[in-house]
Each structure stands twice: as C-alpha cells, then as structure tokens.
Amino acid sequence: MIIPCIDLMDGKVVQLVQGREKALEGGTPLEMLEKFAAFPEIQVIDLDAAMDRGSNDDLVELIAARAVARVGGGVRSPERARMLIQQGAHRVIIGTAAFQRELLQKIADAVGPERLIIALDSKGGKVVVKGWQQVTDFTAEEVIQQFEPYCSGFLCTYVDKEGLMQGTDLDWFRRLRAATDHELTAAGGITTMDEIRALRDLGIHAALGMAIYTGRLKLDEIARAGQ
C-alpha cells in the first residue's frame, strides 16, 4: 500500500527536511485530500503537537472525517490517543511515548493495540526520539520485537534521507522485515518507483511525502502501483 502524507504546521500543509527546515507548503488540507482521493489511506502528522507548541486539532478532525487516516504527533497520553480516535482517526501513531513502557501500556489499553502504530525512526543507525533530536543506544532491529504486543504495526523512518529525495536504505528495511511479522510502513527518502516496488516485494507499505509534493513521483502512476 502507498500512503500519502499530510504534515500540518501553523494550520498549513508542509514538508520538512529531516524534521527541521520547512522546504515547501502544499495546498489546503481539503485540496490535498482531493488529490489523494485514489489512495485507501493517508498519514497525518500534527507537527505542532509533536513539537509541543500547540496543535492542529481542527484540521486533523476535518481530514479524519473525510478519509481513512492514521494520525500522529504529540501523542503522549492515553487521553490524547483516545481523543484522536474520537476525532475520526483510524489508527494512532506514537513515537517517543512508546519508550516509556508503563505509558505505552496505558495508551495501548486506551485505544487497543489494533489501533496503535509505533514509530521507530533511525538516524546514523540508532533509534532517535523527541523529534529526532535525541539519539538512543539501540537499533530498531534490536528492539522492534519488544513492542509487538502493544501495536499492530510500525512506522519506520530513515531519517538520514528524510526530505532529501536521495533514495532510502532498502537494506535497513530488509533487516526490519526479517525482525518482525507485524505490518511495516517505510518512510524517509523514498524517491523512485523502483524503491516503491522493492518495498512492496518485501511486504512493506510506503509513506510518501516530498517526492509527491515536488512532483518527482506522479500521483496517477503511484496510485496505479498501489492497486
């Protein structure tokens, strides 16, 4: 499955490079929903909530009411996860909070593991948390199985190439695929149809951002590839 991404900041649809520098703005959320209508699911990240500087709850609710959406950004409590589900999110994505085991259990209990996706993001070979600013001592491959009881899938971003359109690390995704039977979604630097096909052959979904916002990948072509 190919999953287009809608990242929200200051009430706008944006794309960032490696989670820091804003590279471009997209259309309005409704315009992007119209463009992505051919895809069965979309991914929505509230960057303001993730950075703890407010939220875009009204836009999240608007999008989630009109599309099957997996939603993340700033999910640090069971209440926040439950609220996103109530707003219409199909599934909830959590990142940093997953590394606090007691909190992770509470969030999983609140919405059910089947509604939870855990983000395992890698930079320089190690998992990064807190907006990709803090580097841990372990790799995603080492810890992924520990999280399986709490979720139904993993969103794995190759941060080193995020937003750079220089290709991704297919070897890393192969190692992740070998480490878990859970659903995997790849993100970060996916730029070509060949990469999308390689991920599909591995049984891994592809979350696409910069490559479609810049026109590097054509929506009609990737929509056909995702069918």
Q: Which of 121, 137, 171, 201 is catalytic?
A: 121
CA distance 209 to 26: 10
CA distance 169 to 139: 14
Q: Is 67 helix (H, G, I), strand (E, B) or coil?
A: coil
> What DSSP state is assigned to residue 69?
E
7 is catalytic: yes
58 is catalytic: no
CA distance 155 to 182: 11
Residues 186, 201: contact at Cβ < 8 Å?
no
Q: Is 225 helix (H, G, I), strand (E, B) or coil?
A: helix
For 53-204, strand residue ranges (E) read: 69-72, 91-94, 116-119, 121-123, 126-129, 134-135, 153-157, 183-187
Catalogue the active-site residues: 7, 121
